Structure 1
Amino acid sequence: MTRTVGVEEEYLLVDPDTGHPRAVSHVALAADPAAESTIGLTGELQREQVESATRPCTTLAEVDRELRRARSVAARAAAAAGSRLAALGTSPLAVEPTLSSSERYREMGRRFGLTVSEELTCGCHVHVAVDSDEEGVGALDRIRPWLASLLALTANSPFWQGADSGYASYRTQVWQRWPSAGPYAPFGSPAVYHDTVQAMIDTETLLDRGMIYFDARLSVQHPTLEVRVGDVCLDVDDAVLLAALVRALVETAAQAWRTGAPADPVRLELLRLAAWRAARSGVDDTLLDPCTWRPAPAADVLGRLVTHVTPALEDAGDLDEVRERLTAVLRRGTGARAQRGAADPQEAVALAVRRTSGDAG
């Protein structure tokens, strides 16, 4: 049976004239109370952003429809608050974020200081159904080498505070300020996974399990493995590609776990370097090849990823579509290249609003 997959996207709320982020999520959410139940539209850490969640989907066509519906509902809520919706990993224009009002977020602000004060980033999280914690941890251990490649595919945050950061995904650099974020070591069993999470909580550094910000984790709320490494994608097409590859990676890893195939013992230090390379250049330069841990052209590494998961893609009926979508993103580039192609950061925001609205329509 094909695993279900769902996608969460975070978006910026921006001024329709200036492009600057606006702290109006509370107004947007109040404008359409039904949106929370129909697409899971919620607030986030900062009032300049909202998050949507699709329903669990079986086919890529369903994922595509759900994402477009989610963006459409979120765009209407944004418009009701006098703003526009933009699928951007970071704001191209300077911003001083406004912390949301929940007590949990206020405590995060007290505990983490400037990390919270400056944290305004938007990611894409893909949930894939797993049958048990045993299967989930077996898959977590075996997808580690490929997570940086997924980051490269989604890179959509080249600007920070009005300047080009030099990175395709500067969101990744900002996000990894959190003490629990980024690549993780193999766990080997659910007991070790849960003991590790509890030990992290017991340090009294993190507030709760929701602050386990590994690049992939067992979901706190759902029977899923949640891959959290990506920027929010500028285009729905790229988010669908991400969902297809994540599902195939999880299925491939779960099958390897069932047969007793060992996880790649690659060290955490190399995974951090792979993530840095992916964040630096996206698909526009070299990545670290998980087959050799040496630099290779991004197109070659992503081609090897597709080869690695081809049986799972074939079983789901996704192989041809994944190849087409990957060819397209390699040809036109990710959201980072599109933003840099704009005349200036303000035009990059306007472009993102048009592309986000175009996807919604």
Structure 2
Amino acid sequence: MRSIGVEEEYLLVDGQGVPTGVADAAVRAFERSGGEQDPTPGGGLEHELQEQQVETGTPPRVDLADVADEVRAGRRRASDAALAADARLVALATSPLPGPTTLTHGARYEAIAQAYALTVREQLTSGCHVHVAVADDDEGVAVLDRIGPWLPTLLALSANSPYWRGEDSGYASVRAQQWNRWPTAGPTAVYGSAAAYHEAVAGLVASGVALDAGMIYFDARLSQRYPTVELRVADVCLRADDAVLVAALCRGLVETAAREASDGVPPAVHRVEPLRAATWRAARSGLAGDLLVPPSMTPVPARDAVVALLDHVRPALVDAGDLTTVQDLLARLWERGTGADEQRGWARDGGLPAVVEQAVAATLA
């Protein structure tokens, strides 16, 4: 089976629930605790664009139960590091309460801030990136060419960012709206070959629109560091269970696409415009409205869209032994709603400060 690694970005908040720029202190606390060398589950802890964020990255695991252990352990260890820096860790894709952004130190971050201006100053968003192993770039691009139309449904399942600068944005994932301000973000068309993919990336870097290949922010891409396809469309999930669900579905999508390519099934020829529309639709309503699904990319109720995704990857889930777990996790998600749904419920009861308090607890639940 293909291994999975999960990267999650989190916010750091103070006692009032406002983002606080102490990532450097949190990472140093993690390193002092021996976190970099510690073989226990949970992976590492790294800086992100802003000092109000940190990121974990789990080691690659094959068994889904091990992936779940790594995600939960990573959250606990990151929370401990945040507490050591007088902050709290919270898995929210945007902050309900307005607060400052403080650029992380370093020449690369400074160059990014200079190049992208307001987009950087207002960029305080947290995503979930799932790495799924592939044999080589050829298989990876064959996968990318086939999974694009399904990625908006993953976004809808993970939607966890209804609030922006103290207001309800009207979106289930306003993070997706903010993230797509980057010039290299979003869905992509069919490449047809690894050479064509690398040519496209090189062209974006040569144009100066992307400062380097690390700034290729496609919804799914070949990883720069690992032999993986990296699916980047999801919000960071409020609950670890939902992160595991997204990871399992990502592996199912990659395995299904790789099998289709091996069997000579050509990718559907899709234009970027309907994929962008599908991504917007998923960000707007999450699981509360219609979603656009392949092959027609016409609207269907969200439950039907999720069923279609599950049916599409079912053989891969069965072969991995993941189907029952995925069905159980989906049932829990339908029962309580997405992170965006939960946040809005908490806000009705206690306002935005209550959202953060509840979310801090849910992050480690």
TM-score range, shorter chain: over 0.9
Of 336, 348, 353, 1:346 maps to 353
Alpha-carbon separation, structure 1, partners of 2:316 and 2:17: 42
Of 82, 85, 98, 2:86 maps to 82
Alpha-carbon separation, structure 2, partners of 1:320 and 1:27: 41
- Percent identity over paired residues: 53
Q: Report the 3-state secondary structure (helix = DSSP H, G, I; strand = E; otherwise coil) of the residue aligned with 1:35.
A: coil
In the superposition, relative to structure 1, how do residues 216 and 37 fare at CA in structure 2: closer, same or farther (>3 Å)? farther
Name the Cα RMSD after superposition.
Answer: 0.9
* 1:118 matches 2:117: no
Identify the residue that residue 15 of structure 1 maps to in structure 2: 14
Of 139, 144, 157, 1:140 maps to 144
Alpha-carbon separation, structure 1, partners of 2:37 and 2:117: 33
TM alignment of 1:147-186, pairs within 5 A: 147-186=151-190
* 1:297 matches 2:301: yes
Query: How far has the Cα of 1:223 moved from its partner?
Result: 0.2
Query: How far has the Cα of 1:35 moved from its partner?
Result: 2.5
Q: Report the 3-state secondary structure (helix = DSSP H, G, I; strand = E; otherwise coil) of the residue aligned with 1:45.
A: coil
Alpha-carbon separation, structure 2, partners of 1:27 and 1:314: 44
Query: How far has the Cα of 1:110 moved from its partner?
Result: 0.5
TM alignment of 1:227-242, pairs within 5 A: 227-242=231-246
Alpha-carbon separation, structure 2, partners of 1:217 and 1:353: 31
Is the Cα contact below 8 Å between 1:85 and 1:357 reproduced in 2? no
TM alignment of 1:21-32, pairs within 5 A: 21-32=19-30
Alpha-carbon separation, structure 2, partners of 1:118 and 1:172: 13
Equivalent residue letter for 1:262:
P
Question: What does the per-residue CA deviation read over 1:50-88, in whole Å, with 9 as the maximum and x for residues that have no partner?
Answer: 000111011110011001110010000000000000000
Is the Cα contact below 8 Å between 2:240 and 2:364 reproduced in 1? no
Of 286, 289, 311, 1:307 maps to 311
* 1:355 matches 2:362: yes
Question: What does the per-residue CA deviation read over 1:151-209, in whole Å, with 9 as the maximum and x for residues that have no partner?
Answer: 00000000000000000000000000000000011110000000100010000121111
- Using the TM superposition, name which of 326-335 and 275-284 deviates more: 326-335
Question: What does the per-residue CA deviation read over 1:99-126, in whole Å, with 9 as the maximum and x for residues that have no partner?
Answer: 0011100110011000000000000000
TM alignment of 1:178-217, pairs within 5 A: 178-217=182-221
TM-score, structure 1 length as denominator?
A: 0.97
Gaps in structure 2 of 5+ consecutive residues: none
Is the Cα contact below 8 Å between 1:145 and 1:264 reproduced in 2? no
Alpha-carbon separation, structure 2, partners of 1:109 and 1:123: 19
Identify the residue that residue 262 of structure 1 maps to in structure 2: 266
Query: How far has the Cα of 1:352 moved from its partner?
Result: 0.8
Question: What does the per-residue CA deviation read over 1:255-282, in whole Å, with 9 as the maximum and x for residues that have no partner?
Answer: 1011111111121100000000000011
Q: Report the 3-state secondary structure (helix = DSSP H, G, I; strand = E; otherwise coil) of the residue aligned with 1:226.
A: strand
Gaps in structure 1 of 5+ consecutive residues: none
Is the Cα contact below 8 Å between 1:158 and 1:164 reproduced in 2? yes
Alpha-carbon separation, structure 1, partners of 2:353 and 2:270: 41
TM alignment of 1:46-61, pairs within 5 A: 46-61=50-65
TM-score, structure 2 length as denominator?
A: 0.96
Alpha-carbon separation, structure 2, partners of 1:282 and 1:142: 22
Q: Report the 3-state secondary structure (helix = DSSP H, G, I; strand = E; otherwise coil) of the residue aligned with 1:221.
A: coil
Equivalent residue letter for 2:167:
A
Query: How far has the Cα of 1:37 moved from its partner?
Result: 4.6
Equivalent residue letter for 2:35:
A
Residue correspondences, number: 356
Q: Report the 3-state secondary structure (helix = DSSP H, G, I; strand = E; otherwise coil) of the residue aligned with 1:344.
A: helix
Is the Cα contact below 8 Å between 2:238 and 2:339 reproduced in 1? yes
Q: Report the 3-state secondary structure (helix = DSSP H, G, I; strand = E; otherwise coil) of the residue aligned with 2:364.
A: helix
Alpha-carbon separation, structure 2, partners of 1:330 and 1:253: 26
Q: Report the 3-state secondary structure (helix = DSSP H, G, I; strand = E; otherwise coil) of the residue aligned with 2:273.
A: helix
Alpha-carbon separation, structure 1, partners of 2:57 and 2:324: 26
Alpha-carbon separation, structure 2, partners of 1:51 and 1:32: 12
- Using the TM superposition, name which of 325-334 and 175-184 deviates more: 325-334
* 1:35 matches 2:19: no
Alpha-carbon separation, structure 1, partners of 2:62 and 2:267: 27
Question: What does the per-residue CA deviation read over 1:312-338, in whole Å, with 9 as the maximum and x for residues that have no partner?
Answer: 001000111111111221221110001
Alpha-carbon separation, structure 2, partners of 1:35 and 1:203: 39
Is the Cα contact below 8 Å between 1:124 and 1:232 reproduced in 2? yes
Alpha-carbon separation, structure 1, partners of 2:287 and 2:334: 7
- Using the TM superposition, name which of 258-267 and 120-129 deviates more: 258-267
Equivalent residue letter for 2:162:
P
Question: What does the per-residue CA deviation read over 1:231-274, in whole Å, with 9 as the maximum and x for residues that have no partner?
Answer: 00000100000000000100000010111111111211000000
Q: After TM superposition, where is structure 1 displaced by more than 3 Å over at least 4 residues in a row?
A: none
Alpha-carbon separation, structure 1, partners of 2:258 and 2:64: 20
Q: Report the 3-state secondary structure (helix = DSSP H, G, I; strand = E; otherwise coil) of the residue aligned with 1:182.
A: coil
Equivalent residue letter for 1:273:
A
